[in-house]
Amino acid sequence: KSSFDVNWIKKDFPILQEKVNGRPLIWLDNAATTQKPRQVIDRISYFYEHENSNIHRAAHELAARATDAYEAAREKVRAFINARSTNEVVFVRGATEAINLVAKSWGEQNLKEGDEIVVSNLEHHANIVPWQQLAAKKGVKLRVIPVDDDGQIILDEYAKLLNNRTKLVTFTQVSNALGTVTPAKQIIDLAHQVGAKTLLDGAQSVSHLKVDLQYLNADFFVFSGHKVFGPTGIGVLYGKEDLLNQIQPWQGGGNMIKDVTFEHTQFHPAPNRFEAGTGNIADAVGLGAAIDYVNFLGIDNIHHYEHQLLVYATSLLKDIPGLRLVGTAPDKASVLSFTLKGFTNDEVGQALNKNGIAVRTGHHCAQPILRRFGLESTVRPSLAFYNTCQDIDTLVESILKIQSGKN
Ligand code: PMP
């Protein structure tokens, strides 16, 4: 156990004081979405009480406040992921929208028949379907990096997929279904050797480990605010600045133009060229507050604490007879995925809910990787820094109760 003062941290999260079925809520569905600290909730209220205005357009006091708050949030994101410039940070609705933006704009403009896109077997549907749609439209081939029995990408097999037709390698940094942390830097470097661009899906990584885009050198990076203790409806597309400026916008409208006539429109450079219309201003500001909160705890402290928690949970779960853990790579973050012999995953989920424990059951929007392990669904507890060893003990006791029929 560590000196990270979780009971103190928990007090910052109003919803963690809730009771569910008469029990204190134990939130172990962090891979689906994270809870919000008071600081984020208050920051959004403050925006609507003191700053609310549209941005960039009007020359009055509140427009200036709203614009400052929105652009300050962009700078917080930049620093958080160590981008070179705020021009590389585009606000979107979430990871899904960011990936679709890249597929519909960069993909449609740059890929042609015979080109290849490499994805990994670990991907969330959000990082499969847009590429499949693009592939169908353009005659592009989708190739899949296999994973080993632990759920880790097989680098040798990956290297064999690369050739001069490979135009994009797109993959997750942390698997939402298994928790595998992929060797992102190596994968990106190998892709660049054949001249391919790279997209790194950070939806499950930014809340658990330090992301440094200048080190990783990904061409695109995406994440969702709601999985990093911020609001829903806001997320980020990072792209290298020169690359973003070569791409034509995918949506047209206000905010993203320099000049419009009926004959011709000149677009702003990035990021504005990709932010058509009124954005989700208040929630971008809320995301900035969430990043402040994570920075206050320290992402390295979070990583260290959660690692201990994951090791503790893994050691207890793997000793439960009849429990099959899926995803056993040495390098993992947050996610424990399992099935319990003699019970459906829904039965397990509902029984845990009776004890106040929230986990996700199902395919986790990642059917291909579950099928790799012969499964259609699992029970998936997923950890965040506000979870404790006590939460894990309650989870384990509840599973034992299910097995003994005493639930
Ligand atoms: N990628 C991964 C790895 C995810 O876990 C998720 C969300 N489960 C997404 C993409 C999509 O994120 P969102 O639904 O917030 O757009």
DSSP collapsed to 3 states, 151-212: CCECHHHHHHHCCCCEEEEEEECECCCCCEECCHHHHHHHHHHCCCEEEEECCCCCCCCCCC
Model confidence at 4: pLDDT above 90 = no
Model confidence at 3: pLDDT above 70 = no
- CA–CA separation, 178 vs 204, rounded Å? 11
Identify the pLDDT of residue 407. 75
What residues act catalytically? 365
- Say whether domain 41-295 belongs to CATH 3.10.105.10: no
Mean pLDDT value across residues 113-131: 98
Mean pLDDT value across residues 168-176: 98
Dihedral over Cα of 34, 38, 40, 46: its sign: positive
- Binding site membership of 222 for ligand 1 (Cβ less than 6 Å): no
Query: Which DSSP symbol is given to 251?
Result: S
Q: Which of 3-17, 240-254, 283-297 has the lowest mean pLDDT?
A: 3-17
pLDDT tens digits along 18-68: 999 999 999 999 999 999 999 999 999 999 999 999 997 678 999 999 999
Distances (CA, A) of 332 to 256, 320, 347: 40, 20, 26
Contacts of 145 (CB under 8 A, 6+ apart): 118, 119, 120, 121, 153, 154, 157, 158, 161, 171
Distances (CA, A) of 285 to 38, 48, 71, 94, 318: 14, 11, 9, 15, 42
Element (H, E) at 72: helix 61-81
Say if CB 125 and CB 156 are below 8 A apart. Answer: no
Ligand 1 centroid distance, CA of 279 (Å): 20
At the topology level, CATH places domain 6-30+298-404 in Aspartate Aminotransferase, domain 1 (3.90.1150)
pLDDT tens digits along 73-104: 999 999 999 999 999 999 999 999 999 999 99
- Binding site membership of 380 for ligand 1 (Cβ less than 6 Å): no
Mean pLDDT value across residues 287-303: 98
Instruction: Please give the full DSSP string across 272-309, using - where no structure is assigned.
Output: GGG--SS--HHHHHHHHHHHHHHHHH-HHHHHHHHHHH
Identify the three-state secondary structure at position 394. helix
Model confidence at 1: pLDDT above 50 = no
Where are the CATH 3.40.640.10 domain residues in the chain? 41-295
- CA–CA separation, 29 vs 34, rounded Å? 7
pLDDT tens digits along 317-345: 999 999 999 999 999 999 999 999 999 99
Atom nearest to 95 CA in ligand 1: 16
Where are the CATH 3.90.1150.10 domain residues in the chain? 6-30+298-404
pLDDT band for position 2 (cuts 50, 70, 90): very low
- Binding site membership of 35 for ligand 1 (Cβ less than 6 Å): no
Mean pLDDT of the chain: 96
Cis before 183? omega within 30 = no
